[in-house]
Structure 1
Amino acid sequence: MNQSLVRTFGMRTILVLVFAFLYIPIAVLVALSFNEGGLPTAWSGLSLKWYVSLASNSAILSAALNTLIVALVSTAIATLLGTLLAIGVEMRRQYGKGLEALIFAPMIIPDIVLAIALLSFFSMLNLTMGLHTIILAHVVFNLAFVCSVVRARLKSFDWSIVEASADLGASAVTPFRRVTLPVIAPAGSAGALLAFTLSVDEFIIAFFTAGAGRASTTLPMQIYAMIRFGITPEINALATIVMAVSITALTLSQRLNRGMTGQ
C-alpha cells in the first residue's frame, strides 16, 4: 500500500514538474504583456497600453491581415481537397502502404525540408513569390491534417448505405448530400479549425515562400523581425493574442472531435 502511494506521489510530482516547465514561461509572457513598464524584470503596474499600441502599429496590422487572408483561403482549399481525398481513399480501400505514406508525408517531413522543396518547385515554375505562394504552400501542408481527421470519422461509416441508394436509383450527389456530408461535417469542421490554427502559427514555410517585401509578410514573420532587436512588452502582447486565437481554435476542434466519437 505504501509503495503504491509513493509511486502515485512520484508520478504526480513528475506530472506537475512537466506542466510547470511547459506553461510557466507562457504564463510569464502573458503576465508581462500587461506590465505597464517596458522592463521584463520589474513589475510596475497593470496596463493595457501595449495592446493599444498594437492597434496603432501599421506593420503589425498589415501582417495580421496577410495572416488572416492566408489562413482563411488555405484552410478553405485544404478542407475541400482534404475531405474529398479522405472520401476517395476510404471508398477505395484497396491501397498500399505507399499511398498511405504519400498522403501523410507533409505531416512527417520536417518543415525546413518541405519549405526548401516548395521554394525550389515555385522557382522552377518561375512563379513570383507572394501571398499566393504562401497559400499554396499552406494547402500542401494542411491537406494531410484535414484528410487525417476526416478519415478517422469515415472509419466507422457504413458504405453499404451509399451502395444501396445507388441500387435504388439515386444519383451520386443525393447520398453524398443527405448521408455522407452530414456524417463528415463535424470532422470537416474540426479539420478546418486545425488547419486554420496551423496556418496562423506557421513560420518556416511562409518565410521561404513569401518572397521579398512587406506585402507578403505574415504575423509570425513580423514577430521574428521584431525580436531580432530584443523582446518588448509589445511583442509579448502580440504573442498573447496569437496564442489565444490558436488555443480557441484547437479547443473548438477538440470539442468537435469528441462530438464525432460520442465522448
Structure 2
Amino acid sequence: MRRPRLLYVPFWATFVFLYLPIVVLVAMSFNAGESAYTFEGFSLKWYGALVEDEQVMTGLVNTLIVAVGSTVLATVLGTLLAVGLARYTRSKLLDALALMPAVLPDLVIAIGLLLFFVMVKQTLGLHSVILSHALFSMAFVAAVVRTRLTGADTSLEEASRDLGAGPLATFLRITLPQLTPGIVAGALLAFTLSLDEFVIAFFTIGAADPTLPIVIYSMIRFGVDPKINALAAILLLVSFTAVIAGQRLTRIGERGSRAQD
C-alpha cells in the first residue's frame, strides 16, 4: 500500500525549516562582498581574515583549553558515575539526580554555579568554566556510557572475580575495554557541548579570558560581521563531525555486543 504523498510535506518542511538557515549561513561565508547579507561572488577571504583577527584567535585558544579540560573531567567522572549507578546502586532518585544537569535549563545551572563560586570566594577564569562545563557535560557522558553498560556482558566480570581478580583489575581489564566505544562517544559529545556552550561560560568566566561564543556575541551586538559567517561555518563543521563520529562509535559498540551474544 502506497503512502499518500501529502504525508511527506510536513516531514520535508520541517527539515527545510531546520537546515535552510544553516545552508544560507555556510553559503554566505564564501561571500566576496563586504555585506553579510548580499552574496556578491565566491571567495575565501573571510576565512583568512579570521586568522588575522587577534580577538577571534584568543577566543579560539580559550575555547579549546576549556573544551579539552572539561571533556577530560566529564569523561572520567561521567564514566565512573555510570558504572556506579549501573553496578552498585539501584536508586531511581540517584539516577534522576545524576541526569538532572542535562535536564535543567542552562540559565539555572549558570546562576547556581556563579553563586557557588562567589560563596566559596573563588575567582572566575578559565578554570571556573572548565569545572562548570564538566559538571554540565558529565550527565551526558554518564547517559551514553550507561547505555553501553546495558549491553555489556556481565558474565565476563563475574568470571574475572571468580578467578581472583579484584574490583579494580576487573574494571580495568574487562569492563573498561567493553565501554571504550561509549566512553569515546560520550567524550566527543562533551567536547561538542563545551565548544558551543555560551550561557554557562558567560556567567562563570572572567573578563580577561573570553571563550569563542562570548567573542561572537560581542561581535554581533552592533551588526553581523561577515567573518561571523565563516567562523560559524567552521564551528558547524567541527560539531557535525564530532556528533557523527560519536554516533558511528556507538553503532560499532552495539554491533560488537551483538556479535559477542
Q: Which category of TM-score, normalised to the shorter sequence, fits these structures?
A: over 0.9
Q: Which residue matches 2:68?
A: 72
Asked whether 1:39 is paired with 2:35, we answer yes
What does 1:1-263 align with in structure 2 at a 5 Å threshold?
5-6=3-4, 9-95=5-91, 97-213=92-208, 216-262=209-255
Paired residues of 2:149 and 2:179 also in contact (CA < 8 A): yes
TM-score (norm 2): 0.94
Sort the Cα spacing of 1:55 and 1:133 in 2 relative to 1 into closer, same or farther, 3 A.
same
Sort the Cα spacing of 1:41 and 1:203 in 2 relative to 1 into closer, same or farther, 3 A.
closer
Q: CA deviation at 1:157?
A: 2.2
Q: CA deviation at 1:40?
A: 3.4
The one-letter code of the counterpart of 2:213 is P
The one-letter code of the counterpart of 2:112 is A
> Which deviations, in whole Å up to 9, do the C-alpha atoms of 1:67-102 show, x marking residues without a partner?
00000010001101110111111112422x211110
Q: CA deviation at 1:166?
A: 1.9
> Which deviations, in whole Å up to 9, do the C-alpha atoms of 1:114-173 show, x marking residues without a partner?
000000000000000000000000010000000000000111223343233222212333
> Which deviations, in whole Å up to 9, do the C-alpha atoms of 1:170-218 show, x marking residues without a partner?
23333222211110001000000000000000000000000222xx200
Q: CA deviation at 1:12?
A: 1.1
What's the C-alpha RMSD, in Å, of the aligned pairs? 1.4
The one-letter code of the counterpart of 1:210 is I
What 5-or-longer segments of structure 1 have no aligned partner? none
What 5-or-longer segments of structure 2 have no aligned partner? none
Report how many residues are paired: 256
The one-letter code of the counterpart of 2:84 is G
Paired residues of 1:129 and 1:210 also in contact (CA < 8 A): yes
